[in-house]
Structure 1
Amino acid sequence: MNKQLLVLLITLFGITSYTGNSQTVNTDKKIGINWSGLVKTDFMYDTRQVVNAREGHFNILPAAENLVNGEDLNNQSNFNILSIHTRLKAAISGPDFFGMKTSGAIEAAFFGNSDATVGELRLRHAFVQLSNEKIEIIMGQYWHPMFVTAVFPGTYSFNTGVPFQPFSRNPQLRITTKGKIKFIGALFTERDFQTRGASVSKSGIPQFHAQLQLGKAAETLGGVGFNVKSSQPNLGDDNLTSTAFIGYFRTKLGKATWKAEATYGENMTDLLQIGGFGTAGNGDFVNNKTLSMWTEFSGDFSETMEWGLFGGYTKNGGFGEAITYVNGFLGTVENAYRVAPRIGWKSGALTIGVEGEYTNAQYGSIDVNGDITSSTDAVNNFRLVTSAIYAF
Structure 2
Amino acid sequence: MKNQISTFLIILLAISSFSYGQSNDLDKKYGINWSGFVKTDFMYDTRQVVSSREGHFAVLPAAEDIEDGKDLNDQSNFNILSIQTRLKAAISGPDFFGMKTSGAIEAAFFGNSDASIGELRLRNAFVQLSNDNIEILMGQYWHPMFVTAVFPGTYSFNTGVPFQPFSRNPQLRITTKGKVKFIGALFTERDFQTKGASVSKSGIPQFHAQLQFGNASKTLGGVGFNVKSSQPNLGDDNLTSTAFIGYFKTKLGNTTWKAEATYGENMTDLLQIGGFGTNSNGDYVNNKTLSMWTEFCGDFSETMEWGLFGGYTENDGFGEAITYENGFLGTVENAFRVAPRIGWKSGALTIGVEGEFTNAQYGEIDGNGDITSSSDAVNNFRLVTSAIYTF
Q: Same fold (TM over 0.5)?
A: yes
- Three-state SS of the structure 2 residue aligned to 1:323 is coil
Deviations 1:224-274 (A, max 9, x none): 000000000000000000000000000011110000000000000000000
1:297 matched to 2:310? The reply is no
Q: CA deviation at 1:12?
A: 1.0
* Mapped partners of 2:6, 2:98: distance in 1: 33
Amino acid at match of 2:294: T
1:366 matched to 2:365? The reply is yes
Amino acid at match of 1:47: T
Query: Where in structure 2 are the equivalents of 1:1-392 lying within 5 Å?
Result: 1=1, 3-4=3-4, 6-20=6-20, 22-23=21-22, 26-28=24-26, 30-392=29-391
CA RMSD of aligned residues (A): 0.9
- Three-state SS of the structure 2 residue aligned to 1:15 is helix
- Three-state SS of the structure 2 residue aligned to 1:36 is strand
Amino acid at match of 1:240: L
* Mapped partners of 1:352, 1:4: distance in 2: 30
Give yes or no for contact 1:162–1:272 (8 Å, CA) kept in 2: yes
Amino acid at match of 2:122: L
With normalisation by structure 2, the TM-score equals: 0.98
* Mapped partners of 1:348, 1:354: distance in 2: 18
* Mapped partners of 1:130, 1:14: distance in 2: 23
Amino acid at match of 1:171: P
Give yes or no for contact 1:189–1:201 (8 Å, CA) kept in 2: yes
- Gapped regions of structure 1 (runs ≥ 5): none
Give yes or no for contact 2:247–2:260 (8 Å, CA) kept in 1: yes
Amino acid at match of 1:355: E
- Three-state SS of the structure 2 residue aligned to 1:244 is strand
* Mapped partners of 1:164, 1:212: distance in 2: 21
Amino acid at match of 1:156: Y
Give yes or no for contact 1:6–1:121 (8 Å, CA) kept in 2: no
* Mapped partners of 2:215, 2:124: distance in 1: 24
Deviations 1:343-379 (A, max 9, x none): 0000111100000000000000000000000010000
- Three-state SS of the structure 2 residue aligned to 1:61 is strand
* Mapped partners of 1:354, 1:13: distance in 2: 36
Q: CA deviation at 1:4?
A: 4.3
Q: CA deviation at 1:27?
A: 4.5
Give yes or no for contact 2:134–2:174 (8 Å, CA) kept in 1: yes
Q: CA deviation at 1:52?
A: 0.1
Percent identity between matched residues is 85
With normalisation by structure 1, the TM-score equals: 0.98
* Mapped partners of 1:280, 1:198: distance in 2: 16
Amino acid at match of 2:134: I
* Mapped partners of 1:203, 1:6: distance in 2: 37
Q: CA deviation at 1:2?
A: 6.7
Cα distance change on mapping 1:360 and 1:90 into 2, 3 Å: same
* Mapped partners of 1:257, 1:274: distance in 2: 28
Deviations 1:141-181 (A, max 9, x none): 00000000000000000000000000000000000000110
> How many residues get paired?
390
* Mapped partners of 2:141, 2:67: distance in 1: 44
* Mapped partners of 1:19, 1:321: distance in 2: 60
Give yes or no for contact 1:2–1:122 (8 Å, CA) kept in 2: no
- Three-state SS of the structure 2 residue aligned to 1:116 is helix
* Mapped partners of 1:73, 1:27: distance in 2: 69
Deviations 1:29-79 (A, max 9, x none): 611111100100000000000000100000000000000000000000000
* Mapped partners of 1:18, 1:352: distance in 2: 37
Q: CA deviation at 1:10?
A: 1.8
Amino acid at match of 2:17: S
* Mapped partners of 1:10, 1:52: distance in 2: 33
Q: CA deviation at 1:13?
A: 1.3
Give yes or no for contact 2:353–2:383 (8 Å, CA) kept in 1: yes
Cα distance change on mapping 1:5 and 1:232 into 2, 3 Å: farther
* Mapped partners of 1:3, 1:244: distance in 2: 40
